[in-house]
Every structure is written in structure tokens, then in C-alpha cells.
């Protein structure tokens, strides 16, 4: 058995759907025919069993390591969500200093390992980040847990929107350890939570207890795509081989055997000379496997993978993508909307953690080494209730701005608003707000406060324009009178 076939059969069986399907679906799933009649002690009715969850997670991880399409697809999703990284702009320099301690802290280092956290969330559908609060200064220390160690997620039985805790396996025994889940920073602070976990899940409905990886929907197709590509590679190698077919006219079987044993039967080397009579015919024969065109089958498998990942096919490869630029742009729009939704979820994740960091810093009066942005000197100071705790997390734009198209739209918008203003359909202030809002929200160009145009500026501009017109009319009147006086004198 070939090495690749052995590895494939050992790790990825032919029918992966059977391994990850819920009880009662498919065949050959469980050793017991009546397993669907029993309730799992560690999984809800909307979840896979623990065994199947672990199986799906391990297969997804294997595909992510070995399948270029799985790897590239998840990388694209992560790149659009976090892109060049996340930055924080805080009003108070002490909060800005706290963000840097939180974001660049060791060994968790969200700055350098951000993609690792997103990959774990996408692969396993869950991201548990435990923490410990230092009750001396309010500093938090973060770590990471393998999602496969989670035995059970406990919810409020009356409200599945509220996660309470997670239970972790302890070795090979039946014992578990429980970690409280922080869903609200202020609530956790009031309950004096000093050890717990931040826990996030994706790809689940509200009343399901466990999250699922992004590759679960395409596990079978990715495996089939692997098998298909290796089979095509093997076929291509066979097509490069050939054999020498020698015809010995009129020769009996004994003579053919003697010929094969003789030196004359040695295959000719390139550039060599061979002589024979008309009763001996040498032909180089290549295999004809009668294989049909494989591009259509590849496109079917590949497009299914792209659909399962939620990204257009031309984002991964251009092979077989018969798309114009306009069609490709239209296909991008719904994907951008979905990626923006994912980005908001990631933003909420880090806002929750940083809010809890700030809450503990205020509670314990954490001493800072803040730097004055004006003088660049260390001013320090404690974080307390009087500290301005407002901040904004900034993520990269998911949808790239096409300024050429937006400029054309802006020009048409200005023309339309001008016509509407002439007919008194809108006010000057409304026109100004619409145009400035379009420039900021759609084109991503921030207008400074001192350059922003308000109703007072508009009225002043109109007054200045009327004054200039009046002055111009008076100047022309004086010139006309002077010319008339000169004509009369002449």
C-alpha cells in the first residue's frame, strides 16, 4: 500500500459524513442500532456527541494542515477580519497604557498571535481563554485551553443566551474542573470573579450548547477533492510511461521466449542504433486510460468547498473561473456583508476582555506608567473612577474602497442635491450633512472638526457671497457712470 493511501485511510475514512452525523442519521455510525433512543449526558439535543465532535475537530485540523484549499479558505477569512491588526484609541493616556499591557502582554500576546486565536475559533468553533486576576493590582493573566478538553458547557436552563460555566476533563478519569464564564464585565466584577474563562462559540443555533468549526460543512468534499487530485496525479504519471511492443512475425512461443532472454531484447537507449528485418517490428506503446475531461468534476468539488467556506471561488484560485470584473465585484458584496458580521463578533470579544481589564484596574487602583502624548514624558498615575474609560477599537475595512466609483457617485449626488436645493426640496444644512456623511461613511475620508461645515458656516458663506455680489454690482455701476460721464464730456 502506498504511503499516501495508508495515511489517508488511517486518518480520513471514505465516508466522513457518517463519523460526524448526529445519532440516527446515516448508517454505520454507532455500534448500537438504537443509540438514537438515548440521551447524551454531555451534549444537548442540537449537538453532536462528544466522540463525533472530537472526530470532526481532528479531521478538520488534519485537512487544515494538508489541504491547500482548506488552509487558504480559512486564511482569507482571518485576513479580512483582522487584516493589519487591531488598534485602540483611548481618551485617557492611562487607558491607552492599559491597552498596551493587555494587547502586548506576555505570553498571550494578542498582537503577535491574533491569527492563531482566530484560526482556533474557525477550526474548532470554540475559543476558551482562561484568566486569573491579581488581587494586588488588578492585572489579568491569560492562557488558552484546547476546546477538545471541554466536557460540557452549562447554560441557564431558562435562558440559553446566558452561558454559566464550562467543565474541563481532568486526565483520563471522570473528574472535571469548572470554570465560570464571564459574559458581562461589571457583573463579573460585582460577583468578585478572580478566576474564570472568556468563552466564544460560532456556527451554532441559540439553543445548541456547542460551537462547530467552519470546515464541518465541507469535510467530505475536501477529502474527496484530495483523493481526486492524487488520483489525477497518478493518472498523469502513468500517461508518461510507455512499453516496447515487439512483433516477431511467424515466430512460435518458444522462439519468443528465447528472444526475450537474448541481448537483442534490451530496450534501445536514446541515440542508439538497432537493425532488424521486416519480420521484427518495434513499437513504443503509451497507455490510453480513456479518462474523460476532469476539469468539470474539479469545478464541482471546488465550488462546493468555496460555498461551504462562504467565499467566492475566484478568491482562492482563478482556474476555471470564467468571470468578468463586474460579475466578480457583484459576487463579492454578499461575502463582505458576512465578513463584516464576523468582524463585529471578534470586536465584541476583545471589547469584553478589555472592559473586564479596565473594571479590575479601577477596582484595585492599578498604577500605570502612562505617557503624556504632548510632552512624551511618563506621567503615571492610578486608574480610578475619575479616569475617562472611553475607547474605540479600530479594525481594518473589510470591503476595499473603490475611490474612482465613489467619486463618480459623489459627483452625481452633488448634482442631484443642487437640483433639489434649487426647487427648495431640501435645505442647505441637509445637503451639507448628506455630502459630508457620504464622504466619511462611504469613502472613508474623515473630515476634521475644524473643517466641518455647519449651518452657521453655510449662512456666513451665503452672506459673504451676497456681499461680494453687491460689491461687484456697485463696482460695475461706478464704472458705467464713469464711462457715461466721459462720453458726455467728449
| pLDDT on residue 124 | 93
Query: 472 is written with which cell numbers?
Result: 461687484
Using pLDDT thresholds of 50, 70 and 90, give the confidence band for residue 99: very high
Average pLDDT, the chain: 79
Using pLDDT thresholds of 50, 70 and 90, give the confidence band for residue 389: very high
Q: Is 466 exposed, middle or buried (0-12, 13-18, 19+ CB in 10 A)?
A: exposed
Using pLDDT thresholds of 50, 70 and 90, give the confidence band for residue 404: low
Query: 26 is written with which cell numbers?
Result: 446515516
Task: State mean pLDDT over 396-407.
Answer: 71
CB 394, CB 88: distance < 8 Å: yes
Residues 430 and 394 both lie in one domain: no
Q: Which residues of 261-297 are buried (b: 16+ CB within 10 A; e: fewer)?
A: eeeeeeeeeeeeeeeeeeeeeeeeeeeeeeeeeeeee
Q: Is the predicted pLDDT of residue 36 greater than 80, yes or no?
A: no
Helix or strand holding residue 354 (H, E): helix 325-364
| pLDDT on residue 195 | 94
| pLDDT on residue 39 | 53
Beta strands 280-285; 243-248: pairing state: antiparallel
Using pLDDT thresholds of 50, 70 and 90, give the confidence band for residue 20: very low
Triad 258, 261, 263: Cα angle to 5°: 115
Residues 357 and 432 both lie in one domain: no
Residues 193 and 92 both lie in one domain: yes
Query: 287 is written with which cell numbers?
Result: 497507455
Residues 57 and 190 both lie in one domain: yes
> Could you tell me the pTM of the whole model?
0.70
Q: Rounded distance, CA 111 to CA 105, Å?
A: 9
Residues 373 and 280 both lie in one domain: no
Residue 187 phi, psi dihedral angles, 5° rounding: -65, -45
Task: Indicate the residue among 368, 400, 432 that finishes a domain.
Answer: 400
Task: Indicate the residue among 377, 400, 423 that finishes a domain.
Answer: 400
Task: Indicate the residue among 400, 417, 447 that finishes a domain.
Answer: 400
Residues 27 and 161 both lie in one domain: yes
**Full residue range of the structural domain in which residue 456 is found:** 404-489
| pLDDT on residue 319 | 53
For 158-209, how does the pLDDT look when each residue is reduced to its tens digit (9 = 90+)? 888 889 999 998 766 667 889 999 999 999 999 999 999 999 999 988 888 8
Task: State mean pLDDT over 376-397.
Answer: 86
Residues 274 and 208 both lie in one domain: no
Using pLDDT thresholds of 50, 70 and 90, give the confidence band for residue 363: very high
Q: Rounded distance, CA 129 to CA 142, Å?
A: 7
Using pLDDT thresholds of 50, 70 and 90, give the confidence band for residue 24: very low
Q: Rounded distance, CA 231 to CA 14, Å?
A: 14
Q: Is the predicted pLDDT of residue 138 greater than 80, yes or no?
A: yes
Q: Is 90 exposed, middle or buried (0-12, 13-18, 19+ CB in 10 A)?
A: buried
Residues 194 and 259 both lie in one domain: no
Residues 441 and 484 both lie in one domain: yes
| pLDDT on residue 38 | 53
| pLDDT on residue 251 | 80
Q: Is the predicted pLDDT of residue 262 greater than 50, yes or no?
A: yes
Q: Is the predicted pLDDT of residue 369 greater than 80, yes or no?
A: yes
Residues 248 and 342 both lie in one domain: no
Higher model confidence: residue 170 or residue 219?
219
For 227-244, how does the pLDDT look when each residue is reduced to its tens digit (9 = 90+)? 877 777 777 776 667 677
Total domains in the chain come to 3
| Cis, bond preceding 107 (omega within 30 deg of 0) | yes
CB 197, CB 182: distance < 8 Å: yes
Higher model confidence: residue 129 or residue 7?
129
The β-bridge partners of 378 are 371
For 414-453, how does the pLDDT look when each residue is reduced to its tens digit (9 = 90+)? 888 888 878 888 887 788 888 888 777 776 677 776 666 6
For 294-334, how does the pLDDT look when each residue is reduced to its tens digit (9 = 90+)? 777 777 777 778 888 888 877 776 554 566 666 667 777 78
For the ranges 130-134, 365-369, 454-458, the maximum mean pLDDT occurs at 130-134
Residue 27 phi, psi dihedral angles, 5° rounding: -135, 155
Helix ranges, 12-134 (H)? 16-20, 50-66, 68-82, 93-104, 110-124
Residues 184 and 164 both lie in one domain: yes
Q: Is 85 exposed, middle or buried (0-12, 13-18, 19+ CB in 10 A)?
A: middle
How many other C-beta atoms can be found within 10 angstroms of the C-beta atom of residue 397?
Answer: 13
Q: Rounded distance, CA 34 to CA 486, Å?
A: 116
For 344-358, how does the pLDDT look when each residue is reduced to its tens digit (9 = 90+)? 999 999 999 999 999
Q: Is the predicted pLDDT of residue 370 greater than 80, yes or no?
A: no
Q: What is the DSSP string of 287-329?
A: ----PPP-HHHHHHHHHHHHHHHTS-GGGT--TT----HHHHH
Q: Is the predicted pLDDT of residue 45 greater than 90, yes or no?
A: no
Q: Is the predicted pLDDT of residue 462 greater than 70, yes or no?
A: no
Q: Is the predicted pLDDT of residue 10 greater than 50, yes or no?
A: no
| pLDDT on residue 328 | 66
Using pLDDT thresholds of 50, 70 and 90, give the confidence band for residue 139: very high
Residues 270 and 145 both lie in one domain: no
Task: State mean pLDDT over 398-406.
Answer: 68
Task: State mean pLDDT over 45-61.
Answer: 81
Q: Is the predicted pLDDT of residue 482 greater than 90, yes or no?
A: no
Amino acid at each position: 500500500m502506498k504511503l499516501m493511501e495508508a495515511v489517508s485511510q488511517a486518518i480520513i475514512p471514505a465516508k466522513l459524513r457518517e463519523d460526524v452525523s448526529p445519532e440516527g442519521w446515516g448508517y454505520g455510525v454507532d455500534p448500537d442500532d438504537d443509540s438514537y433512543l438515548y440521551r447524551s449526558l454531555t451534549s444537548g439535543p442540537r449537538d453532536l456527541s462528544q466522540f463525533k465532535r472530537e472526530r470532526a475537530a481532528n479531521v478538520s485540523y488534519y485537512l487544515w494542515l494538508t489541504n491547500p484549499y482548506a488552509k487558504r479558505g480559512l486564511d482569507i477569512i482571518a485576513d479580512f477580519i483582522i487584516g493589519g491588526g487591531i488598534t485602540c484609541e483611548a481618551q485617557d493616556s492611562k487607558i491607552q497604557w492599559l491597552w498596551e499591557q493587555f494587547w502586548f502582554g506576555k505570553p498571550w500576546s494578542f498582537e503577535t498571535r491574533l491569527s492563531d486565536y482566530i484560526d482556533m475559533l474557525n477550526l474548532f468553533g470554540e475559543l476558551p481563554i482562561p484568566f486569573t486576576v491579581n488581587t494586588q493590582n488588578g492585572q489579568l493573566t491569560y492562557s488558552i485551553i484546547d476546546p477538545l478538553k471541554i466536557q460540557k458547557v452549562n447554560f441557564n436552563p431558562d435562558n440559553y443566551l446566558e452561558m454559566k460555566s464550562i467543565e474541563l476533563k481532568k486526565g483520563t478519569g471522570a473528574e472535571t474542573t469548572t470554570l465560570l464564564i464571564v459574559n458581562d464585565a461589571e457583573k463579573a466584577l460585582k460577583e468578585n470573579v478572580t478566576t474564570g474563562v472568556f468563552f466564544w462559540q460560532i456556527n451554532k443555533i441559540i439553543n445548541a450548547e456547542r460551537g462547530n468549526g467552519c470546515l464541518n460543512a465541507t469535510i467530505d468534499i475536501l477529502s474527496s477533492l484530495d483523493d481526486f487530485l492524487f488520483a489525477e496525479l497518478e493518472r498523469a504519471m502513468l500517461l508518461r510511461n510507455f512499453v516496447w511492443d515487439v512483433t516477431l512475425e511467424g515466430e512460435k512461443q518458444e522462439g519468443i521466449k528465447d528472444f526475450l532472454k537474448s541481448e537483442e531484447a534490451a530496450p534501445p537507449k536514446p541515440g542508439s542504433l538497432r537493425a532488424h528485418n521486416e519480420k521484427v517490428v518495434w513499437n513504443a506503446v503509451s497507455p490510453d486510460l480513456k479518462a474523460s475531461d476532469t476539469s468539470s468534476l474539479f469545478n464541482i468539488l471546488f465550488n462546493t468547498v468555496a460555498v461551504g467556506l462562504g467565499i467566492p471561488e475566484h478568491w482562492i484560485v482563478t482556474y476555471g473561473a470564467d468571470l468578468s470584473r463586474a460579475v466578480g465585484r457583484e459576487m463579492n458584496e454578499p461575502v463582505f456583508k458576512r465578513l463584516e458580521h464576523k468582524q463585529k463578533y471578534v470586536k465584541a470579544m476583545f471589547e469584553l476582555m478589555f472592559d473586564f481589564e479596565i473594571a479590575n484596574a479601577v477596582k484595585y487602583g492599578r498604577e500605570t506608567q502612562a505617557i503624556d502624548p504632548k510632552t512624551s514624558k511618563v506621567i503615571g498615575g492610578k486608574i480610578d473612577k475619575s479616569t475617562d474609560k472611553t475607547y474605540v477599537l479600530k479594525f481594518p475595512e473589510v470591503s476595499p474602497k473603490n475611490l474612482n466609483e465613489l467619486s463618480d457617485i459623489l459627483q452625481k449626488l452633488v448634482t442631484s442635491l443642487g437640483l433639489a436645493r434649487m426647487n427648495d426640496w431640501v435645505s442647505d444644512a441637509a445637503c451639507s450633512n448628506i455630502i459630508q456623511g457620504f464622504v466619511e461613511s462611504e469613502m472613508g475620508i474623515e473630515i476634521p472638526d475644524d473643517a466641518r461645515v455647519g449651518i452657521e458656516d453655510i449662512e456666513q458663506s451665503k452672506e459673504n457671497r451676497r456681499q461680494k455680489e453687491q460689491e461687484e454690482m456697485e463696482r460695475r455701476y461706478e464704472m458705467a457712470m464713469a464711462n457715461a460721464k466721459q462720453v458726455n464730456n467728449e
